[in-house]
Chain A
C-alpha cells in the first residue's frame, strides 16, 4: 500500500532529484534577484517592498492588477468550461474538432498579435467598430484588456477542463440520469463538483498568467497600469532592480495566496473518477435547452478567434493593412531572407524544453499527490513561482545566476532551456495534479500488491492514465516557449536568434506586414505540431484500455 511506495528508494531518489532540479533551475536564479528586495546597502531592509503598498501610486497599481487578474481569471475559467463542455458533451465529429482547435488557437499568440488585431478590428479606426458599425469605441483600458486577456488565456482553462471531462467516467452521470435527474441537474450536482480541481486549477493558472502578462497591457492598456508593466519599466527604463523586485514581490504574493486558497477549496475531497472498473456508458449529449446556447456561445467565440487570426494572415499578405491593402509577397520574401535562423533556433529550443517541462511537472505532481513525503506541498508552490514571477525578473535572475563561474552558461542554449522549463513547468504541474487526483490510487495499489515496484507501477499504470495531461502540457509548453518574449529578452545572445524578438523588432520598425508574416509562420509551426501530436496520442485512454 502507501507504505510500500513510501519505502521505495525510487521515491526518495525522485524527491532528491526534484529538490536538486528546482533548487538549481528555479530557486537559485530567483534568489539572485529577490534577495535584492530585502537586502539593502545597510543590511536587511524591507522598506522598498513596504513602500509599494503604502504609497498611493503603486498601491493603486497593485489593486488594479488584482482586479484585472480576478476578472480575467473568472471570465476565462467560465469560458473555458463552457467551451470544454460543448466539445465534450454537446458536439461530435467535425463541429467538435472545429471548436476544439479554434479554442486552442490563442495558445499560439505571438506577442502583441492579438492586441494589434483587436485594435485593427475594434479600435478607434476599427474595421468592425468604425468601418462596419460606424461606432467610435476606444478599446484602450480595462475593458479592452479583459477582452484580449480572456481570449488569450481561456484556452489554458479549456485544456484543463477538456482533459478532465474526457476522462470523467460517464457511468457516474449515467447513474444520476437513470435515477431521473435532468441533464442540467447532473451538470450541477455531479459533473461540476467532480471538476472542482479543474475549476481551481484553471482559475489559479489563468490568474497567475494574467498577472504576469506584459504584452497586452503594453499595447492596449491605456491608462490602466498593472504591476507587470511597472516592473518591466523599472528594469529597462529606470534601471532600478530593487524597485522592480519590490513590485515583483507584490505581483507574486497574490499568486501564492491564490494557490493556498485553491488548496483549501479543493481540499481532501475525493474527486476520483478513474477507478479501473470497466465503464460501459458513453457520455450522453446534453439536452437541447443547454446544448444549443452552449454551441452558440462556442461558435461565437470560435468565430471571434478566427477573425482575430485572419487579420494576422491578411496583414502578412498586404502592404500595410488598413492603409494600403495591395496584396504582396514582399513580407514573406523579407522574412525568409533574414529570419531563417530565428525560426530554426526558436523551434529547436522550444521543442527541447517542452517535454522537459511537462515531465518535470508530472514527476513533481506525482510526489505531491501520491507520496506521503513530509513537506511535499513545498514542491508544488515553489514550482508555481516560475509562473508567478514577472518574465523580465525571471529572465534577469537566470542571467545573473548563470553568467559567472562555476555556472558560466550565459550565451549557451542551456539558459534558454532553463528559462523555458521553469516558466512552463507550473502549467504541466497543475494539469498533472488534476489528472492524478482523478485516478483512484487503488489501481496503483493493485499493481503494487501484485509485486510491481513504484517505478514499474508509475511507468505501466500511472503514466498511460495521465498521457492526455502530459501531451497537453507538452504542447502548451512548446506553444508558450515559441511565443514568450519578456522572459528571454535579456537572455539574448549573438548565437541564438529568437523569433518573438524579431517580431517585436519588425513592429517597432513599423513593418506590421513582416511582423505579421513572422507571426503566421510561428502560428503554423506550432499549430501543426499540435495537430500531429494530438493525432499520435489520439483520444482519451481509459483505465480499461490501459488494463488490456
Chain B
C-alpha cells in the first residue's frame, strides 16, 4: 500500500517534470491528463526527483558491448549500480510477458519500436515522458508515452563481392534484382516471426507495393523466397552467413552490416536497393510494476540526452542517434543519404500478426 502511494507520487513528479520541460510545443500525453494540475504545482516546486534505490536493471536487445557499454557509462556517471542483460527483441518481449507477475527488470532498452508497440498493448509498459523527449519528432515516440526512440536504423543489403565474382553474378542493385532466379540459394535473411529486421524488410516490401494491396507484396516475396537458402533466427545472422561466403547476399540492418565488416568480414559491402528501403526506430521504455521505478525514470531521461546517444559512436555502433546534438559516426547511414520508403511502422506493427502468419503459412514453406 505504502509502496503504491510512493510509486504514484513518483509518477506524478515524473510526468510533471516531463511537462515542465516540454512547456509549449510538446505533444500531449493522455496518461498525463489527470495529473496535470498536480503536476504543474509539483513542477515549479520540485525539479529534482525522489531519491532512488541506487540500483538499476536493464533488459537490452542490442548486442553485448553496446548494452553493457550503456550500463557501464551510466554507472560511472551517476553511481547507480547498473546491470544489463541481453535478450533479442523477441525473447525480451517473451521474458517481459512471463515476468509480468514479478518483473525482474526496470528498463527495456530496445530494439525496434514494434516490440514496444506490442508490449504496450499487453500492458507491460509504464507511461513516462523522459526529459528531452519533447525534442523528438512525433514519429519517433509513442503518443501514450509508453516508449521513446533513441536511434534510427536503415535496412540494407550485405553483398559478398568475392562470392558474387566467383559465381559470375552481377552485383544486385534493387529489390527487383534480388528476386531474379540467378540468385537462387544465395540469399540469407531471418524469419520475420523471430526477427525485427526480417519483419522490417517484409513490411517495406508490402508498403512499396501498396498498403491496400498486400497480395502484390506477397507475390514478390514468393519469388524472392525461391532464392533464400535459410530463414535464420536472429536478424544479424545473415550478415555473418554472407560474410563467411555461405551466401552472396544477406538482408540486414545497415548498422549490423557495418559492424560485421568491422568484425573482420572484409568481403562484405553494403547496398541500398534503388526502389528505396525501410527503417526502424530503436526505443526505450519503463517496465510496468518494475523494481527501482525512480531509477528507471532517471535512466530514461539520461538516455534521451546527447551524452548517452553519443556513446553509440564510442561503442562502435552504427545506429543513427536521434538527438540532434549527439556525435555521429561519419559512416553511419542517414535518412538524407539513403533513399527510404515512406515507412509506416504503426501500420506495420498493427498488422504484424496477420502478415507474419501469412508468411509462415504461405511463403516460408513454399517449394523452391
Contacts and interface: CB of A to CB of B under 8 A. Distances in A.
Interface in B82-102: 83-88, 90-91, 93-95, 97-99, 101-102
A138 B99 contact: no
A36 interface: no
Interface string B255-285: 0100110011111000000000000000000
B87 A492 contact: yes
A439 B245 CA distance: 55
B36 interface: no
Max chain B CB contacts within 10 Å: which of A55, A60, A410, A509?
Answer: A509
Interface stretch (A41-49, A68-76, A152-160, A217-225): A217-225
Contacts of B236: 508-510
Contacts of A509: 63-65, 236, 259, 263
Given A123-B246, A233-B194, A235-B94, A403 B83 contact: no
A320 interface: yes
Contacts of A221: 230
Interface in A209-253: 218, 221-223, 225, 229, 232-239
Given A236-B94, A399-B98, A411-B104, A506 B360 contact: no
Given A119-B246, A223-B230, A490-B98, 14 more contacts: A57-B365, A124-B246, A125-B244, A140-B229, A323-B266, A338-B64, A396-B94, A408-B102, A410-B104, A411-B102, A494-B84, A494-B104, A505-B86, A510-B243
A444 to B, nearest CB: 45
A492 B230 contact: no
Q: Interface extent on B, as a size class?
A: 35 or more
Contacts of A123: 244, 246
B7 interface: no
23 contacts: A55-B361, A57-B365, A119-B244, A138-B229, A225-B364, A233-B191, A233-B194, A233-B360, A236-B88, A237-B191, A237-B194, A238-B360, A319-B264, A320-B265, A324-B266, A338-B64, A338-B68, A396-B94, A489-B87, A490-B91, A505-B63, A506-B64, A509-B63
Contacts of A490: 91, 94-95, 98
Nearest to B92: A236
Contacts, number: 142
A512 interface: yes
A408 to B, nearest CB: 6
Contacts of B365: 57, 60, 225
B93 A239 contact: yes
B239 interface: yes
B74 to A, nearest CB: 14
Interface string A304-340: 0000000000000001101110000000000000100
A494 B93 CA distance: 16
B57 interface: yes
Given A239-B118, A509-B65, A510-B263, A403 B99 contact: yes
Contacts of A506: 64
B239 A323 contact: no
Interface residues of A, number: 54
B183 to A, nearest CB: 14
Given A124-B245, A222-B229, A138 B185 contact: yes
Nearest to A324: B264
Interface of B: 57, 63-65, 68, 83-88, 90-91, 93-95, 97-99, 101-102, 104-105, 118, 185, 191-195, 229-230, 232-234, 236-237, 239-240, 243-247, 256, 259-260, 263-267, 353, 356-357, 360-361, 364-365, 368
A225 B95 CA distance: 25
Nearest to B82: A494
Nearest to B55: A494
B240 A493 contact: no
A323 B95 contact: no
Interface in A170-228: 218, 221-223, 225
Given A494-B85, A505-B86, A509-B65, A239 B264 contact: no
A494 B65 CA distance: 16
A161 B263 CA distance: 44
